[in-house]
Structure 1
């Protein structure tokens, strides 16, 4: 058995826990929308055609924000197609995902769904095939109270009150050659700056997200951020980051260590943004919106897409419906640890996506909805993390990986909420074959007891949940957790994610 230790610095918190960290992403892609959240003929559908069984799981998941309607989809989207009488809405081809878009679910249906679930919307504007005027029109339709053409049009569509959307993405992955309307950094930066300044003339309190790199492996990474921020620094509030990880060729150790790459990605973007701010002599700090992140077996998707027929246009095809296993869930839990650890600069995040498409929730048309393995670390982190993020200094053995070199086998973050007297420790064991005994010095938190200790692990690290066996992988009580005089001892199985909820101050 391996041994590791952890010490918490309760005196200098990193930042508040941001509720926007627990965001998700709904794109018109595959079955995320149609037969995902929207299926009028489903036995659980409400009067708006929204699946109530899926809504219940979204509530359980703890999602706070949702980015919409893309993703790559947004770069060819005409928002006007998805409002007004459904029988008059045009059917279009979606070039991004090579499918047919019926537009039976659009902006107002999305906002109704958000209100029902108390979710904050995060809207993306099309800066691919469209630009300034279309973004201003969409903003007027969404946010102006009334008395103008587009705000009155919204009212005539049954929504007299403004949607009041505060957070907006200025396009999506505009650095990617796959993106409809792809631009170089300087051209995109100038276009985004023009749109951003005009949008804030219309509504000065908007929060705007400018496109960063689609991933740290992009050849333009770093230079893209610097150039785009040189053009937009005064007009935007956030820059986006996107990252996906997968296990390659059975290299489990590297996969479990992937979050070290995520940490470096975040630190690099922070450094670049701050360097631009210093050159511009602007005291404002640009925050980070990690608005696409997840495990995605992208190489598998690319191989499948290469052999798909080009004349096959379908409505809501089954695409990238990855079935997640235990190892995937551990990596997702570790990515949440990274996001929390960087809460001083990562103030919003969106796991991509919510239903069916690389998602924590799966559905069958006309049938059930169930939780994938990755559902559990997200739901438990969203439910337990509150108050402040604290610095956790971990000392642990290392595991050699082909992709990332030496990686500590233990990674962790701690949150503490003085208002409730609760604290939570989130920890992963990345070792592929060894349990770890963790000794955590939590005396600075004055904990009084272990309220709950749950571990997600399985003897088969590739075990997954299915429609037929939806609860094969669930978190289990970790009875090894023991608190004595402010020191917590807990045994972590190999390839595992654990949460320990603690009480303090006698509460």
Structure 2
């Protein structure tokens, strides 16, 4: 075993952008056990007065998730929002074609808004532009946001919700470029509908912000022309363009898997370039920002999902059991999002509970943290502030897909008002530690407050109901500052959080 050396350059004079807290958003779709058995289970021992699981709420609150996208996902493209409001006993049961399940509509708009309020999050509401359109969308805005004195706002009040929800961010459909989507459209068809829907929604409530659908992933045959065409129609009417991506280690090639965040980086760069092309073409002064509102590792559950009985209520779908190496890639993806904080303002880890999620539950039983819970927790708690430009010098490696992959993936976030600096770092090397050095003379008086390490000898290690603490972070890393230089040993295949603070005088 040998030790390699990598170097970071940290200087408070070179800043990238302020982190929008919504970068640490998440996603709840009416899919599998995300809602029923996830956030909502009236018979559970911890259920509150509305039937929400308190044990799940506590785990969500610890993550400090500021915004949660709802109700889909593919589900929203066939959803009638009116089915999910009013007396629960009178609500219709519907066949959900997206996931071949039966939707009982026990939880809908008002219940979900109440749940978000209890966990301290905002709702990011998606409207159906698959089977529906302008009317349904503008009526939902009126129902949710108009104070009173109109048909839909008064109906909300009649349903027991006097104060408007004041939902700020709205998604104009979901993955409309995908042939799997109910109501799939061409870029021109979607762009026209999205623009006209956006106009009507903002006529109801001019304060809302809107997200137009970008490509479902960077490998779609229409990418990035889809983005260019959609923005030709919607540029003046929306604030964000969406991106979605998932990665998986299907062939067991871990070095290549851990390099997938480079693909995410290139995806973001290409979408930014496309947005700026349309900005220039339109002679616009407006900058289009990005909403990376679906991202995660997703592949473990693919085979199991083929065996689920169709048309059941809340079947166990997309229940990936995450490994330690998945947590490493999630860490790399979080760092990538931070590196683009100047343009990515919203991001949603997809999803939040049970469905490709950091939190798992057993119906009637416990809830526990998956491996990926921890890098997301650390980034959300310590990654709020100003992202620094952090040039990296690192040894590199090649894979079947990527060349010059740095062993060190890292960035830094500075909270000037609190005199705190946090370095997030992943060592991708599977056999050797990495010696990290960083010039921190620009942060005079700062000392290491904490060095958290997430590491495990088994890359395939998981957390389960019976062994929920198999993969957990530990304090006690060896990071220190001497003579204006930060040094640390990053163990092989590890996620590291190095927190510095100005020493008290």
Q: Out of 490, 493, 499, which is 1:492 matched to?
A: 490
Task: Map 1:122-137 to 2 at 5 A.
Answer: 122-137=124-139
Aligned equivalent of 1:292: 294
Aligned equivalent of 2:70: 68
Alpha-carbon distance in 1 for matches of 2:84, 2:306: 30
* CA-to-aligned-CA distance 1:172-224 (integer Å, 9 cap, x gap): 00000000000000110000000011111111111000000000011111100
Q: Out of 408, 413, 416, which is 1:415 matched to?
A: 413
Aligned equivalent of 1:114: 116
Q: Out of 178, 181, 201, which is 2:180 matched to?
A: 178
Aligned equivalent of 2:242: 240
Task: Map 1:365-380 to 2 at 5 A.
Answer: 365-380=363-378
CA shift, 1:443, in A, is: 1.8
**RMSD value, Cα:** 1.2
Q: Which SS does the other structure have where 2:481 is aligned?
A: strand
Task: Map 1:357-368 to 2 at 5 A.
Answer: 357-368=355-366
Q: Out of 283, 286, 289, which is 2:285 matched to?
A: 283
Structure 2 residues not aligned, in runs of 5+: none
Asked if structure 2 preserves the Cα contact closer than 8 Å seen for 1:446 and 1:505, the reply is no
Asked if structure 1 preserves the Cα contact closer than 8 Å seen for 2:328 and 2:426, the reply is yes
Alpha-carbon distance in 1 for matches of 2:438, 2:410: 10
Aligned equivalent of 1:84: 86
Task: Map 1:107-256 to 2 at 5 A.
Answer: 107-256=109-258
Tell me how many residue pairs correspond in the alignment: 503
Alpha-carbon distance in 2 for matches of 1:219, 1:479: 45
Alpha-carbon distance in 1 for matches of 2:403, 2:492: 19
Moved over 4 A (4+): 303-309
CA shift, 1:158, in A, is: 0.8
Alpha-carbon distance in 1 for matches of 2:422, 2:499: 4
Alpha-carbon distance in 1 for matches of 2:221, 2:371: 33
Q: Which SS does the other structure have where 1:227 is aligned?
A: helix
Q: Which SS does the other structure have where 1:225 is aligned?
A: helix
Aligned equivalent of 1:386: 384
Is 2:425 the partner of 1:427? yes
Asked if structure 1 preserves the Cα contact closer than 8 Å seen for 2:447 and 2:503, the reply is no
Asked if structure 2 preserves the Cα contact closer than 8 Å seen for 1:421 and 1:505, the reply is no
Alpha-carbon distance in 2 for matches of 1:320, 1:150: 35
CA shift, 1:248, in A, is: 2.6
Q: Out of 446, 449, 474, which is 2:447 matched to?
A: 449
Alpha-carbon distance in 2 for matches of 1:501, 1:64: 22
CA shift, 1:482, in A, is: 1.5
Alpha-carbon distance in 1 for matches of 2:465, 2:328: 21
Deviates more, 1:487-496 or 1:236-245: 487-496
Alpha-carbon distance in 1 for matches of 2:476, 2:409: 18
CA shift, 1:426, in A, is: 0.2
Asked if structure 1 preserves the Cα contact closer than 8 Å seen for 2:453 and 2:477, the reply is no
Q: Which SS does the other structure have where 2:45 is aligned?
A: coil
CA shift, 1:271, in A, is: 0.3
Aligned equivalent of 1:22: 24
Asked if structure 2 preserves the Cα contact closer than 8 Å seen for 1:209 and 1:237, the reply is yes
Alpha-carbon distance in 2 for matches of 1:487, 1:379: 27
Alpha-carbon distance in 1 for matches of 2:62, 2:332: 20
Q: Out of 315, 318, 338, which is 1:317 matched to?
A: 315
* CA-to-aligned-CA distance 1:244-302 (integer Å, 9 cap, x gap): 1111311000111110111100010000000001001111000000000001117x51x
Q: Out of 53, 56, 60, which is 1:54 matched to?
A: 56
Aligned equivalent of 2:45: 43
Aligned equivalent of 2:458: 460
Q: Which SS does the other structure have where 2:442 is aligned?
A: helix
Q: Which SS does the other structure have where 2:15 is aligned?
A: coil
Aligned equivalent of 1:100: 102
CA shift, 1:451, in A, is: 1.1
Aligned equivalent of 1:477: 475
CA shift, 1:340, in A, is: 0.8
Alpha-carbon distance in 2 for matches of 1:478, 1:392: 24
Aligned equivalent of 1:406: 404
Asked if structure 1 preserves the Cα contact closer than 8 Å seen for 2:305 and 2:318, the reply is no
Asked if structure 1 preserves the Cα contact closer than 8 Å seen for 2:305 and 2:317, the reply is no
TM-score by length of 1: 0.98
Alpha-carbon distance in 2 for matches of 1:316, 1:306: 15
Alpha-carbon distance in 1 for matches of 2:408, 2:189: 43
